[in-house]
Amino acid sequence: YSNQFMAQAITDEICLPFFNVVDRALTMLKREELIEVVGSQGFGQLAYQYSITSKGNLRVREVLERTTYVGPAPITLEHYTAVARSQINAATRVSPEDMRRVMSDLVLDDSIIDALGQAVNTGRALFLYGPPGNGKTVLAEHIIPLLGNDILIPYAITVDGQVIKVLDLNNHEPIETGGGRVDHDRRFVLCRRPAIIAGGELTLAALDLVYDSISKVYEAPLQLKANGGMMMIDDFGRQQVEPRQLLNRWIVPLEKRVDYLTLHTGKKIQVPFNQMVVFSTNLAPPIWWTMRSSAGSRTRFWSTTPRSRSSARSFGDSATRSASHSIRRACSTCCGSITSIRSVHCDRSNHETSSAPWSVSLAIEASRRPSPQS
């Protein structure tokens, strides 16, 4: 903070135009005897040098009790919501050619590229599952260019006299403008669409406003910083918060495209939730089945994790005995009519986790009649 300042310096600091905005504010402060002109370093009002009076210092102390934020003027929440919604490329459709262009440096099967393109066009959440190191994160990062052009991100937002910092140079990448010319509101920064990745360190507290009692300024949560881009939950299931709690926290945002945050005063505010959410994990679900096909036949694999040795044995014995009936019915539901079941194999193996010490796998190989609907 400084006791003396120039009008030009104020304009540059708060990123507002001098004429009709800053000059009117300075005139009001002079009228209330909070500041005074003590000199000039050039021609015109922009060169005037001001000093804070003793009465003005008392007002400064009052303001610092509410917030110590200094920087570009915050925008209102209503203004931010309007800008965020205007930057959603809802009408943009990704073509197969677009997908192959952005994925050209990756070795992928065409079916995976096509499936990703369909997921991007829905504008909804995406779930990626696969073994460690198979490129899930890289795949998600390649989606960013498909989400649209660069966007404007504000330095800060103001709500009920509270300031929420949004721009984060750790997560946002500003774009240099040639010659320093800025054609947009200077309270915003032109950035590439954000791609924010949260891993095992993610907690529920990080999904709400973080209030600094010293500076009396809020830090925006990760999902607010990710608006207009992508929010990726990497290693889903390994966070410090249970997956069910995380999904419950985002039920409304994922469905309604709005989120609710809480100020330290207890007031809740509604903010836009406009990003593509990607869940990525290498943890297999507790009940999982896969299917591999060959000419004229299919092999299906079921696996489960019973809670005890006895339940594991019971599951395996029961499945083996009823293969000709219940398994035939299950297969016919998914892959058409079954002509014969050639083999059933049940494998009971020790599971290393304490919560599910026994696992059972059941493989059924069955031939089937080809069906146009299959």
Q: What's the CATH code of the domain at 43?
A: 1.10.10
* Boundary of a domain, candidates 247, 281, 315: 281
Round the average pLDDT of the chain to a whole number and report it. Answer: 79
Strands 156-159 and 210-212, sheet pairing? unpaired
Confidence of residue 285 (pLDDT cuts 50, 70, 90): low
Do 162 and 240 have their domain in common? yes
CA–CA gap between residue 134 and residue 61 (Å, rounded): 56
Phi first, then psi: give them for residue 35, nearest 5 degrees.
-135, 165
Do 204 and 319 have their domain in common? no
* Boundary of a domain, candidates 246, 281, 316: 281
* pLDDT higher at 327 or 275: 275
* pLDDT higher at 174 or 309: 174
Average pLDDT over residues 246-275: 92
Do 37 and 83 have their domain in common? no
Do 203 and 241 have their domain in common? yes
Total domain count, the chain: 3
Residue written as tokens 């909070």? 34
**Residue 41 lies inside a defined structural domain of this protein:** yes
Phi-psi label, residue 123: left if phi above 0, alpha if psi -120 to 50, beta otherwise:
left
Average pLDDT over residues 19-28: 93
SS3 328: helix
pTM of the model: 0.73
- Comparing CA positions, the residue from 235, 234, 225, 232 lying closest to residue 259 is 225
Confidence of residue 57 (pLDDT cuts 50, 70, 90): very high
What burial letters (b/e) apply to 41-54, b meaning 16+ CB within 10 Å? eeeeebebbbebbe
**Residue 114 lies inside a defined structural domain of this protein:** no
**Residue 60 lies inside a defined structural domain of this protein:** yes
* Boundary of a domain, candidates 249, 281, 313: 281
Average pLDDT over residues 56-80: 93
Do 274 and 148 have their domain in common? yes
Collect all residues with Cβ–Cβ distance below 8 Å to 203 and sequence separation of at least 6: 239, 240, 241
Do 250 and 168 have their domain in common? yes
Do 243 and 167 have their domain in common? yes
CA–CA gap between residue 124 and residue 130 (Å, rounded): 20
- Are 203 and 241 in contact, with CB atoms under 8 Å apart? yes
**Residue 217 lies inside a defined structural domain of this protein:** yes
Do 81 and 178 have their domain in common? yes
**Residue 120 lies inside a defined structural domain of this protein:** no
Average pLDDT over residues 242-257: 90
**Residue 24 lies inside a defined structural domain of this protein:** yes
- Look at the chain and count its residues: 374
Do 252 and 268 have their domain in common? yes
Cα Rg, the chain, nearest whole Å? 30
Do 237 and 295 have their domain in common? no
Residue written as tokens 């991007």? 120
In which domain, by residue range, is 13 found?
Answer: 4-66
**Residue 178 lies inside a defined structural domain of this protein:** yes
109-168: per-residue pLDDT in tens? 888 888 888 888 887 888 888 888 888 889 988 988 888 889 999 999 999 989 999 999
- Are 99 and 114 in contact, with CB atoms under 8 Å apart? yes
Do 346 and 234 have their domain in common? no
Confidence of residue 174 (pLDDT cuts 50, 70, 90): very high
Do 256 and 311 have their domain in common? no
**Residue 109 lies inside a defined structural domain of this protein:** no
Token representation of residue 169? 């140079």
CATH of the domain at 241: 3.40.50
